[in-house]
Structure formats: C-alpha cells, structure tokens
Structure 1
Amino acid sequence: MSGVSTITADDVAVAEVPVSFWTRSRKVGVGFLVAGALAAVIFGALATSETVRFTLSENASGAALKINGTVGAILFGVLAAVAGAVLIAMPGKKWFSWMLGVGVIGLILSFLCWQISAAPAGQNFMPLVNMVRGTFLLAVPLIFGALAGVLCERSGVVNVAIEGQLLMGAFAGALVGTMTGSAWAGLFAAALGGAFVSLLLAVFAIRYLVDQVVMGIVLNLFAVGLTGFLYERLMQTDQQKYNQPPHFGVWEIPLLKDIPVLGPALFRGNIFLYTALILVAVIHVALFRTRWGLRTRSVGEHPTAADTLGVRVLGLRYRNVLLAGVVAGIGGASYTLLLYSFTKNMIGGKGFIALAALIFGRWSPTGALLAALFFGFADQLGTYLSAINSVIPSQFTAMLPYLATIFAVAGLVGRVRAPAADGKPYIKG
C-alpha cells in the first residue's frame, strides 16, 4: 500500500540497544592489569634480593617455599596483570572467579615478597601454619555472625544487629562461665544472650513493624550500653568473681592433624571452629535441600505467595530470627570462652564485617564462609606485618580487615540481589 513503510530485519538489528563494552569483568580486569603492573614496578623496586621463605611449619625451621624477594615481587605482580588481561580479553562468568582469585593472590604475594625481603635479618620468612591458624581463628566469629545474617535475611528480616548479638553473647558467656566455673554453662548463656537481642529485633521488626535497619542500629547501641554498664558495676569491681571465665581447650583429630600446614591449623582446633564449619554445612543443606529451607526462602522472596500456600510467615520469621541470635551468641562466646576475658565493646565492629561477609557471600552459607576467611586473612596479615616490624605503619596494618571489607564489597561483589522481601514488613491480609 502506498505511503506505508515496512520494517525489515536489518532495521530491527540497527534499533537494538548495543551491549556495553565495559562489563563488570572488563572493569575488574583493567583494575588488575593496572594494579599488577604497578605492583611489579613499585614492589619490585622496593624489594631486596634476600631470599623469601614461606615455611611449612610454625617457625623458620623445616621445609619452605623459597624465592628471591625482587624476582617474586615482579613475577607475582606480572601474574596479577596477566589475570587482568585475561578478564579483558575473555569477559564473562566462565573465567571471572578463577582470574579474580589469581589476581588477588598475585597482588598479595607481590606485596609480601617486598615486605618479607625488607624485614630485619632473621625475619625473612612467613610461617604458613601460623597464618592459616590465625586466619581460621579470626574468621570464626565472622562465620557465626554471617550465618546469623543468612538465617534472618533469607527469612526477610534485615539483621544489622549482629554486632550487638556477638557482644551480648561474649558478655553472657564470660559472666555465667565465671560464676559457675563451667565453660559449657557460659556457652549456653551466650546463646541465650544472642537470642535475647534477636527477640527484641523480632518483636519490634515483625510485630510492631519498626524499620529493621534503624532497629538493628538501636539494638547495637543498647548492647554496648548494657554490657558496658554491667562491666563497670560488676566485672571491674571484682574480676575474679565475675570476669575470669574458663576456656575451652584444643581438640585434636587423629591422623588429620598431621597433614602439612592445614593439619596443625585446622585439625588442632577448638569447639568454636568445628561448630562453625559444621553449621555452614548444616545450614547450607537445610536451606537448599529441605522443606524448612524451601519455606524460608519463599518467605524471604514472596511472603504473600507463601502465605496462600499455608506457610505461617510471621511464625517462621520469629523462629529463624531467634535461631540467628543463638548462632551469633555462640560466635560471641568465642571471644571470652576461648582466649580472653570480657572488655567493653570488645567486638570492635566485627559484626559489621560479618554483615559484609554475608553480602560478599551473596546470602549463601558457603559464600559467607569464604568471605569470612578472606577477612580473617586480612586481619591475620596485619598482625603478621606488625610482628616483623614492617615499614607499613601499625595504624595502617590495623585497618587492613576494614579496608579489605570496603574493597571486597565495593569493588568485587558487583551487583547482588538480596532476597526480594528482605527488610519489608509483612502484614497478614
């Protein structure tokens, strides 16, 4: 018909929105390419020709992986740059995780070759057993805290109160453990302490529909104030009676404890480490392989649809939030029933790092475990650098776990999607 234009396939192809060249993979690749090149040049220039030793024991003796400091700093920097180049040339999910790991490890090793080679004489080594042991030890409360976040947020309740749950668990564990002389009694009290904070979160967020983020912050401040007040009134006045908790000992697993590096670090552990690893496996299986897990995920994604299918949305949220408090409370007890006595605000922001591990791990128990280990390694690395009198100021090394948190969440996590109903109150129709 005259005056009527037709649209051809070529016209449709031209009208299609072009896919952006600067995908997340390529952006991260450029970052690693630049960072790796700078590491090779800067760390290579600052490193010395001293032999760097990564020992497979707890000290300088025994077998070790050796490399020249300057060569190692340059080589590992180039490795990180190559990982970046691969991400630029072959963007996509297939290679992203692998190259991301190679890039991060390359940058860390390049930095360590500089630091260790420049250390005072006799300190040009890194004991891998101590590094791995310290990483797991420092990651334990983060694992518990992140699992508490998974249980809450998969149910649709934002848990910003992890810090307060850990702190209340640490305080209750120290107080009751000291008064009863039983570490097990302290552990039970710690679980109740974390559950108490979770109960307040559940009541105000689920029953009274208070903003969940605001409520979490308020509960953190409440826990700091309450434990600080009781610490000054009881524990400071009589440490022997109220703040000398018994500690759990080391539990060795025969045969496995003799595995190089991992054996002494992982299988000569404590009840908290083993419990944390078991809980990761149990919660992962329960969340993705059981009826409870299906209902929990449905409540976190679409509570109205779950309600129409007979799921008691509010009841399930109450139970899961309380369970999260128990898990976090046990994590808090790892501070006072393993190594230390209680001090004011001793968690020191680790609850927020656990929250970051939850996001970095994409609301998955296994992902949260890996993220917690990453942050635990950053913390242990700061301790190690201080021990070898690094040229890096101690104030900066103390910041490493928090800098790693910012770097991971802002730079590596990319776009993530929380459960759709997370933070949204549910009003039964």
Structure 2
Amino acid sequence: MSGVNILNGRLVLPGQAEPQSGHIHIIGERIAEVGRAEPIAETIDAENLVVAPGIIDLGVFATDKPAFRFGGITRAALMPDQSPVHDDPATIRFAARKGKPDFWVHPLAAATKDLDGKHMAEIALMKQAGALGVATGRRWIDDSGLMLRLMQYCAMLDMPLFVHAEDAGLAGKAVATNSTNATILGLPSAAPIAEELAIQRDLLLAAESGAHLHIRQVTTKRGLDLVRLAKQRGARITCGITPAHLFLSDTALIGFRTFARLSPPLRGETDRLAGIAAVADGTIDVIASGHDPRGPEDKRLPFADAAPGMAGAETLLALTLNLVRDGVISMGKLFELLSGNPAKILNLNAGRIAPGHEADLIFIDPDTPWQVDSEKMAALAGNTPFDKLPVQGRVLKTMKGGQIL
C-alpha cells in the first residue's frame, strides 16, 4: 500500500488535443502509471477538474513563490538579471536551492560578466553548479564576434542560449513602437526593425555555430516570419512570447499607463494578430509570463522614466485559456506551450503527464470567474497591464513532486 491515486480527472496528456478522463498513479515523486488506479493508501478525487502538468515559466526575473503558487507554476527558469548578477557558480548554486522543496528554480547563467555584453562569463563552471541555460539578460549583445564565440561555447556545452532580440543601436532610449499612438503621446519610439535586425543576425550566427538559440520574446510580424522560415530550413531555434503581446496592442499606452511599459514595447494590432497566428501554426514554442514585479518606485514615474516589466505569473494561465476558448489552439497544445516545450528546452524530466516523469501537477477549474486586481495580487508587486480585467480559470490545487502543497 503506497503512493497516491488521482481519480476521475480530465487529464491533459501528451499527443492528445483535449483532456481525457482517467486516473493517475503516483509513487514517490514520479508518475508511475496513467490510465488506471492501484490499491493505495491515499486518493485524491479530481472530478470535474482538469489535471495538467505544472507550468514551467521560462524566463522570470524574480523568485516570487506566492505568485507562482497562485498561477500553477511549479518550476521557473530564472533570468540572471539579479543583484548580484548570476555570473559565477556561487550565485547559481544559491538560486537553485532557493525555492526547494515545494518550488524549483532553474537559474540561467549570465552570458557575460555582470551582463556587460563585453566579457564572456565562466559558463562551464556555472553549468557544473546547476545552470541549465545561458542568457544575455535584458539586453542584446551587439558585438557579433563575441556572440559567435558565445554560441560556439554553448553548442559545445549543449546549453540553450536565451537572447533578448532588440538592437540597442536602433532602439536607443525608445519606450514605444513607432506609431500614431506614440506620436500623439510624445513618447520616444523605435521602428520594429530593431527586433527584426537582431533576430536576423542571431539566426545567422546560430546557423554558423550550431547552437540552440531561444529568442525569449518575438513580438513583430516580420520577426515571426524570420523565425518561421529558419525553422522550415531546419534551424535549431525556439522562441517565446508573453500574454501581453498576444492580448494587448500599443493602444494600452493611452493615458500613459506605466503598467504597460514593457520591453520589448507593445506593438501595433497587425503584430499582435501575427503573434496569435504564430501560436496557432507552431512558430511560437513557449508562452511565458515575463514575470517582473516592479514596485511604485519603478512605476509611479513619467512613462519614459518608468522601468519596463509586468507581474505576469498569476495571470498567465487564465489569459492563455482564452486561446483555447477562442479556438486558436487546443488544451493539449496550450500545455505544450506552458509546460512540455519549456521542459524540453531545459532538458527536464517534467512538463508531461507520463510514466517516469516528475509528479508536478495542477488541478484546474477552467470556468471559475475572477477579476485581476493589482492591489490584491500575491506577487511582490502588482504591476499588471491587465488590472481589473475579468478572466476565467483558477488553479485549485497544486502537487509538487507527488506532494499536495
């Protein structure tokens, strides 16, 4: 008599578009069997609930356990933009232990020392310390020679390289995309080509080096077209997007709402719709929260002076469920984007409901209504551009490593 049975759930299974009725048997920290129950000491009744793999949030800027718990996130890849920067083995080891046992942080190693974009960090040592990937942080590395050497090193170590795609020479101090809205508001703006040029260069270098390139956010139509073409040619590339760029356009800047000050900036409606199309056709591999909680000292400023970023962990699931309701993707495809593909990128034995995988599960009522409220969020700060938006879908229970939290 050992383990746990999850009974009567609607299971989000690999290769299945829609949830399937069934049971899960768990022994220890892993899924032992899917499809039937065994005589055991404990049962969990999941009737009328969707049981899905825990969300793996690919590229957050803060370890924010209450927000992650609310949003059904059981693991997160932590960006190196911390204080101090995660550019040495000691900071990597500390970050990897930070959330255990009920939440796992997977730190990404800084590509360059102090994220200065000039001097390569000790990536091999950070891999030994537990880093599962390398990241350039919030900035693009403009030195193409350095970037090629970095990619060659990542390819040799078999580590994905997470990049921010925005040519700083073109973007300058822009806080918005060139548009009528930016002109009316008088905001410094840049053309979308700042993203597209950065993507094109990095695609060429990735092809030259053989590195696994992950573009953390692709937010423009032409940028997505470049990625789509590169994938058709067999490039080793993955990319992501956030709900903000799927559901908001630059009209959200009207009124100088600094919660909508993001990096990359919000785009026009054509780019937003292109993002949804790219989710539907598989060009986009990951939807991540971009979780970056910012307090009043960073946001209660003139728009051009406010820090970019949004608190996205708590709203990630509820917002992306709209893609399922609207018929853009299936529930199975949604959890590929939220869990399965992030696990593949980080080479984790998680993100799927399958025998032998970690028993990281969330129990969802996809129809529960609630309202986003920046003043009541569990996050370190409530800087969400979706404040006061009515949404549907709540995580009612979370299991991490076979244990209900």
Flag whether TM exceeds 0.5 (same fold). no
Higher helix share: 1
- Higher RCO, 1 or 2 (CA under 8 Å, sep at least 6)? 1
Provide TM-score, normalisation by structure 2: 0.26
Provide TM-score, normalisation by structure 1: 0.25
Higher strand share: 2
In our comparison, the structure showing a higher alpha carbon Rg is 1
